[in-house]
Amino acid sequence: MTAPQLLDTGLMPSDAAAALFDLPRAASACRIVVAMSGGVDSSVVAALAHASGAEVIGITLQLYDYGAATGRKGACCAGDDIRDARAVADRLGIAHYVFDHESAFREEVVEQFADEYLAGRTPVPCIRCNMGPKFTDLFRMARELGADCLATGHYVRRLAGADGAELHRAFDPARDQSYFLYGTTEAQLDYLRFPLGGMPKPQVRALAEAAGLRNAAKPDSQDICFVPDGDYAKIVTRVRPEGAAPGAIVHAATGETLGEHKGIVHFTVGQRKGLEIGGQPEP
């Protein structure tokens, strides 16, 4: 398997760019909606869509409070990232719209994230986000805009199979995001496009630089967007204060009270380290 060859200077030719989007007809007669988070990946997708010759519309979903997130590192879809998405759209000369989805994001992602922790599970909110407010609402918007496809910056590949489009791992295993999109339906996959799935990240950054995008060197977000400092307990406590209530640590077999915890939000099933009860003899 080899990654697509791109030009060393400038973006790829329009026909090569168009091929990345598997358009149903000539690009000049198509409309592509791009989900723009403000990061380098979705920005390059917008640049490639523009290079194809299609009409391009960028959409950013504001997922949580803009003011609180302004200037905060790792804040996807809020604050500085929205400004970056708008600047990229201006640079490319494409339309760009921001839609407030804070309420939906809080209910479908943040609150369920907290509920999972209270149930003793360790959630992966990025999966719920992609399967919930992002794809559901972006699909509706893209179709209402008459788009031929919805393109994102995910590192996965969409390949033609015997029974239609199939979701495959990215060319670069270090960047693969197929895990986050496992719940993508056939109807969604038929409409989605992932033009970066066959590229390594350095190539994507090179394209961003060639396009003159302001976020070409922007660091990747490594944390959950609404927990940029890694303090999950603080977020869960804010959403579900009852999770911070102290309680007894009880031996399941003997019923003996071994100590006291500072709130179940700090623990998960099977956890041993950090209980602060010392070594315990076997019953």
pLDDT tens-digit readout, 265-279: 777 777 777 777 765
Which is catalytic among the residues 30, 76, 77, 129? 129
Give 244-255 pLDDT, tens digit per residue. 888 888 888 888
The amino acid occupying position 47 is A
Q: Point out the least confidently predicted range of 60-74, 115-129, 244-258.
A: 60-74
**Pair 150, 33 in one domain:** yes
- How do strand 156-161 and strand 149-151 relate by DSSP bridges? unpaired
Q: Write the DSSP string, 51-98.
A: HTTSEEEEEEEE-S-HHHHTT-TT-TTSTHHHHHHHHHHHHHT-EEEE
Is the pLDDT at 150 greater than 90, yes or no? yes
**Pair 36, 121 in one domain:** yes
Quote the pLDDT of residue 280. 57
Which of these, 122, 113, 188, lies nearest to 156 by C-alpha position? 188
**Pair 42, 125 in one domain:** yes
236 vs 54 pLDDT, higher one? 54
Q: How many CB atoms lie within 10 A of CB 67?
A: 7
Instruction: Give SS3 for 166.
Output: strand
225 among known catalytic residues:
yes
30 among known catalytic residues:
no
Could you identify the residue written with the tokens 């979701």?
167
Q: Where a domain ends, among 195, 210, 225?
A: 210
Is the pLDDT at 218 greater than 80, yes or no? yes
Which is catalytic among the residues 76, 77, 149, 225? 225
Quote the pLDDT of residue 104. 83
Which of these, 185, 183, 186, lies nearest to 163 by C-alpha position? 186
Q: What is the CATH number of the domain that holds 144?
A: 3.40.50.620
**Pair 46, 136 in one domain:** yes
Which of these, 116, 191, 82, 177, lies nearest to 147 by C-alpha position? 191
| Within-domain flag for 190 | yes
**CB under 8 Å to 227, separation ≥6 — which residues?**
235
Is the pLDDT at 191 greater than 90, yes or no? yes
Q: Point out the least confidently predicted range of 60-69, 72-81, 138-147, 260-269.
A: 72-81
Q: Point out the least confidently predicted range of 2-11, 72-81, 249-258, 262-271.
A: 2-11
| Within-domain flag for 3 | no
Q: The domain containing residue 262 runs over which residues? A: 245-283
Q: How many domains does the chain have?
A: 2
Is the pLDDT at 41 greater than 60, yes or no? yes
Which of these, 232, 283, 229, 231, lies nearest to 258 by C-alpha position? 283
**Pair 48, 107 in one domain:** yes
Q: What are phi and psi of 5, to 5 degrees?
A: -80, 125
pTM recorded for the entire structure: 0.83
| Within-domain flag for 216 | no
Which whole number is the average pLDDT over 211-239? Answer: 82
Which of these, 194, 188, 143, lies nearest to 164 by C-alpha position? 188
